[in-house]
Structure 1
């Protein structure tokens, strides 16, 4: 125990030194019981996530006899066959919808990233013209939208109805993604940019050779966000596309699974029992999930750096 005396009042204050090496309870090493509870909790969460996926995949690979024995969705694999996938990818409406979705995702993601990166870089430069009013206007749109009817009328009046551009241009830029990019660009060391300007580099060269290479993590994450948004979108196509033969994959999936409307060229095979309708539905769901599942592991390592660091430094 140590004491300290103040010179103003003459009172003595007793100071109790903290225990050397003491840490908060949440920073202590978990006990055996804590490890067990964590393991059980994580296992339960994994089962809740992977269980439905397992049922969907197994049902998509099951034949008519296995589905009949299970009374619907199949849990235990039996009578596995790729007949449903062969029927889905045989060149009919589903195959066309997959190609449409891939093209929309690639083109839409490219346009969104180009516009978002350029806008975010311009708004991240303190001396850029009008960057504060523009930033305020963009942030207002995050909380106040025009509404569904004005947006529909706008798309109709500019001639985008029944066009794939109506699925890309109205949602080309997300203000949230733009703000994340801006925050990350602002964290770039000013010394690097000043040194590049001294060497004669312009803004395009600084963006391309300095800012973007240092921001690969956030660019990868935002690209994934845009790609998943375009790949999973179905509402815009249901509004702006009148020809169902031009529907992307998600709209085919919505019509097939929820409305029980078989895609063109597939209804006869389902009605005759040659291919179980339930297995075909599950096969379409698997095809819709595969691209996201394949891309996510390559981008997942960038999530912490790309989102958390960029958001905190903003």
Structure 2
């Protein structure tokens, strides 16, 4: 049954749609410009002829990026960090959130208070660096995974979702002799697919886009993740991985290579979202509610 809206509600909906459409356009314009530039010729880029559509269409920039061994090495590093880091993140988050979702747990309030404290007051950079160095993690990929192995915000989100699950189901499993680990991995986890998919996306995007930690802890070129590789190209103007002769022969330019690299580095993480959109929206909504 269609609900009749008042004039004020209709006005609000129209204004909301127009505002969101404007925000989408503002976000899309720079992205469209980068896509157009990545497919444009060097001459068009030099003379600033590229706006939102490619000028003198060519694939040379992408061909050079995809044939660049430095790019693929950084890509493999980022894949490893994203996959391994996300698995560790999810495992630790679930193992911490499940016991804290039980109101009868002793010391629960103190632990939750400590969690909230760490969300407000984060550790300074220098002490964190000294801890990572003392553990011998400098110039290792674990330096990009272990310090951010768990997010307290995501723990609270997961904890809130677990509390919404019926306790009677767990009591019945305990009566049948199932252990707490069995309840967690055979009952809680299958019922928590929406929130786990949401957390997977949060953690994966964080690892994929992270570059600051690598800039602090990584000095070896062969351990650079993709975002640090992009940073060296864009912020520092480093395109030394490609010789000038190849650029002239293939009609590529530093600016075009930067744009093509940005697109190639962005597409994989953007490609994932449409397949998990349903679970992501459901998990975000359910994880934010409290009984």
TM-score, L = length of structure 1? 0.84
- Of 57-66 and 38-47, more deviation after overlay is shown by 38-47
Q: Which residue of structure 1 lines up, in the alignment, with residue 226 of structure 2?
A: 249
User: Does the alignment pair 1:51 with 2:51?
Assistant: no
Q: Which residue of structure 2 lines up, in the alignment, with residue 18 of structure 1?
A: none
Where in structure 2 are the equivalents of 1:168-183 lying within 5 Å?
Answer: 168-183=145-160
Where in structure 2 are the equivalents of 1:42-121 lying within 5 Å?
Answer: 42-69=20-47, 71=48, 73-121=50-98
Higher helix share: 2
Assess if the C-alpha contact under 8 Å between 1:60 and 1:279 holds in 2.
yes
Q: Which residue of structure 1 lines up, in the alignment, with residue 285 of structure 2?
A: 308
- Of 295-304 and 256-265, more deviation after overlay is shown by 295-304
How far is 1:202 from its partner?
A: 1.3
Aligned with 1:312: secondary structure?
coil
Greater relative contact order structure (CA < 8 Å, 6+ sep) = 2
How far is 1:265 from its partner?
A: 4.1
Q: Which residue of structure 2 lines up, in the alignment, with residue 167 of structure 1?
A: 144
TM-score, L = length of structure 2? 0.90
In 2, Cα distance between the equivalents of 1:139 and 1:50?
36
In 1, Cα distance between the equivalents of 2:104 and 2:18?
54
Residues 209 and 305 of structure 1: CA distance in aligned 2, closer, same or farther (over 3 Å): same
- Of 233-242 and 283-292, more deviation after overlay is shown by 283-292
User: Does the alignment pair 1:261 with 2:241?
Assistant: no
Aligned with 1:311: secondary structure?
coil
How far is 1:108 from its partner?
A: 0.4
- Of 295-304 and 135-144, more deviation after overlay is shown by 295-304
Assess if the C-alpha contact under 8 Å between 1:124 and 1:182 holds in 2.
yes
Q: Which residue of structure 2 lines up, in the alignment, with residue 146 of structure 1?
A: 123
Assess if the C-alpha contact under 8 Å between 2:140 and 2:223 holds in 1.
no
In 2, Cα distance between the equivalents of 1:158 and 1:147?
17
How far is 1:233 from its partner?
A: 0.5
Unmatched runs of 5 consecutive residues or more in structure 1: 1-20
User: Does the alignment pair 1:201 with 2:178?
Assistant: yes
Residues 147 and 223 of structure 1: CA distance in aligned 2, closer, same or farther (over 3 Å): same
In 1, Cα distance between the equivalents of 2:123 and 2:24?
40
Q: Which residue of structure 2 lines up, in the alignment, with residue 296 of structure 1?
A: 273
In 1, Cα distance between the equivalents of 2:49 and 2:131?
45
Structural RMSD (CA): 2.4
Aligned with 2:252: secondary structure?
coil
2:105 maps to which of 112, 120, 128? 128
In 2, Cα distance between the equivalents of 1:189 and 1:295?
31
Aligned with 2:85: secondary structure?
helix
For the pair shown, which has the larger CA radius of gyration, 1 or 2? 1
